[in-house]
Structure 1
């Protein structure tokens, strides 16, 4: 029998699929307002800063290709890193220089190289060409494509393509790094405190909710996961879909990866169900509930990521408007989430531990 608070939590977790119901419009009888306001509070005043360039790309190119004169062009889209397109004798590469202080975010460059290499072997990511650990430099083959339109990835064919690209990495050999979203948010809180950043008061309520989810889900198996499935990390080249940027990859919960993709591509309830059917061959209630829980953990992790960023003391820039809108009003603007199918409050099966 589920307790009242757990029912409130599960009802909250279903609410992102109903963006027309804003924080200020929900009736007090529907959900505990204190719990409901957790994520918007965490997202307030968080920023994704630009990073300072630790080494010039020309210096790296001279080391990698001595005596040659490649053409170097900046690539946009980097949040914690700097990316350049390097063209040499008709062959193009991506030169990625890691930003300063990214170790505070749990990024280990050697682990990233291993994950990117495994992803390339699985046909999921581009070939790794070179790696310079001290400078945080990774060189991969340039994929001549464009970011995959999110609306295309939300279609049944698009979801099938995503699963066909991502699943071989999930099913591949284990990698050394570990990614546990429940521990990551705690580590981020500790790191932020150690660097003089105040933890938002909403963190305590969010953590309590995370603990309830963790207890409900029980022990979890782990597989190699990407853990940062932003739309910018999906590159469409002709009929081929590639996934790039493996710096947060680690052994983790496949449902976090699926939920992270769902959140970042604004999947609705029906689309979430289709994602589960394509990935597992069927859609089951337990899996649907787990996916919804991990959607919350994806947003919680992202919010705490922003808290840690303040401790890096770099130039700041705003990048949280979309997620803030998904969870509640942001500066009076309407949420940008797509309309979602209504979903009844989720229930875990008897014997789940709740």
Structure 2
């Protein structure tokens, strides 16, 4: 157990008195606290998962959080204490979204605007490529004997066919959050903030869109709306790119869930989380539309 008060006392901006500490919901790889002092309101992120197994670089997270702030899309960076496993950002207020919020008319356009702002900002210190990360996660599962679906590797060729199709029309990478679930989108009533940069890195913009679409459990019409709002035009090839990247997300992140299930004792069904994404990826690979998506992305 972490002595939270003792940790906060070692961070100058948080040490002031009186101080109130409130636990925030969410955060599967961090414990998130709202800390209020006479000088302001802050969010404190305490690292708690095995970062090495999950591919999290906390120093890069700190750098990328600063870059996200500079883009205008991210919350203010305040402090980073690697010795304590602590990242401090400004509390932006507002409400974290749930999946249903993305279905409210007009919201997808606002989210797309915020994503474009992030992608137009300073480049991050690291790159993110699920075609590199997925084999690393798989190697971890195999070498450590972590349980994964018996037929997981049988879809490896389909996964690589997506890599080939996307690579036929490569796009420049941009600074991406890569983990834009609804809970990482905060609306203060005037603007949208994109938070949590554990997995941030320069990446294909359409991974960002496809990943967010699948994690927010949206339908095909919403994907077309999101891509069109982001790109500023309707383009079937770009929609197909985001749709394939959603499959990449499902297949790759499922292993994240299986690693967490084997190493994390939190009261959360990590294995079910991973299985759900794997099942969706399998449905994509088996879909009669899969070949159409591959063809469309190179059109």
State TM-score, norm by structure 2.
Answer: 0.87
Judge which range, 145-154 or 240-249, deviates more. Answer: 145-154
CA distance in 1, matches of 2:52, 2:206: 25
1:99 counterpart = 2:45: no
CA distance in 2, matches of 1:321, 1:301: 12
Match of 1:109 in 2: 58
Match of 1:346 in 2: 292
Q: Contact 2:237–2:297 (CA<8 Å) still a contact in 1?
A: no
Q: How far did 1:310 drift?
A: 3.3
Q: How far did 1:323 drift?
A: 7.5
User: How far does the alpha carbon of each residue in 1:121-165 deviate from its partner, in whole angstroms, 9 at most, with x for none?
Assistant: 111111011100122210111122212243332345111100111
User: How far does the alpha carbon of each residue in 1:185-226 deviate from its partner, in whole angstroms, 9 at most, with x for none?
Assistant: 111011223333144322212322110110111144211111
Q: Call closer, same or farther: CA 1:347–1:75 in 2, change over 3 Å.
A: closer
1:202 counterpart = 2:139: no
CA distance in 1, matches of 2:9, 2:86: 13
Q: Which residue, 197, 206, 209 being the options, matches 1:255?
A: 206
CA distance in 1, matches of 2:56, 2:10: 24
1:226-265 alignment, distance < 5 Å = 226-265=177-216
Q: Call closer, same or farther: CA 1:316–1:197 in 2, change over 3 Å.
A: farther
Higher helix content, 1 or 2: 2
Q: Contact 1:145–1:235 (CA<8 Å) still a contact in 2?
A: yes
List alignment gaps of at least 5 residues for structure 2: 281-288
CA distance in 2, matches of 1:243, 1:95: 16
Match of 1:280 in 2: 231
CA distance in 1, matches of 2:30, 2:261: 16
Q: Which residue, 299, 315, 320 being the options, matches 2:250?
A: 299
Q: Call closer, same or farther: CA 1:214–1:344 in 2, change over 3 Å.
A: closer
Q: Call closer, same or farther: CA 1:154–1:133 in 2, change over 3 Å.
A: same
CA distance in 1, matches of 2:16, 2:190: 37
1:14-93 alignment, distance < 5 Å = 53=1, 55-65=2-12, 66=15, 68-89=17-38, 91-93=40-42
Q: Contact 2:31–2:47 (CA<8 Å) still a contact in 1?
A: yes
Q: Call closer, same or farther: CA 1:184–1:316 in 2, change over 3 Å.
A: farther
Match of 2:276 in 1: 324
Q: Contact 1:262–1:272 (CA<8 Å) still a contact in 2?
A: yes
Please say which structure displays the higher CA radius of gyration.
1
Where 2:72 maps in the other structure, the secondary structure is coil
Q: Call closer, same or farther: CA 1:236–1:199 in 2, change over 3 Å.
A: same
CA distance in 2, matches of 1:159, 1:225: 17
Q: Contact 2:78–2:89 (CA<8 Å) still a contact in 1?
A: yes
Where 2:233 maps in the other structure, the secondary structure is coil
CA distance in 1, matches of 2:297, 2:218: 29
List alignment gaps of at least 5 residues for structure 1: 1-52, 329-342
Equivalenced residue count is 286
Larger relative contact order (Cα-Cα within 8 Å, sequence gap ≥ 6) = 1
CA distance in 2, matches of 1:275, 1:63: 43
Q: Contact 1:192–1:308 (CA<8 Å) still a contact in 2?
A: yes
Q: Contact 2:68–2:122 (CA<8 Å) still a contact in 1?
A: no
Q: Contact 2:254–2:277 (CA<8 Å) still a contact in 1?
A: no
Q: Call closer, same or farther: CA 1:161–1:313 in 2, change over 3 Å.
A: closer
Q: Contact 1:85–1:142 (CA<8 Å) still a contact in 2?
A: yes
Q: Which residue, 151, 154, 169 being the options, matches 2:100?
A: 151
What value does the CA root-mean-square deviation take over the aligned residues?
2.6
Q: Contact 1:109–1:133 (CA<8 Å) still a contact in 2?
A: yes
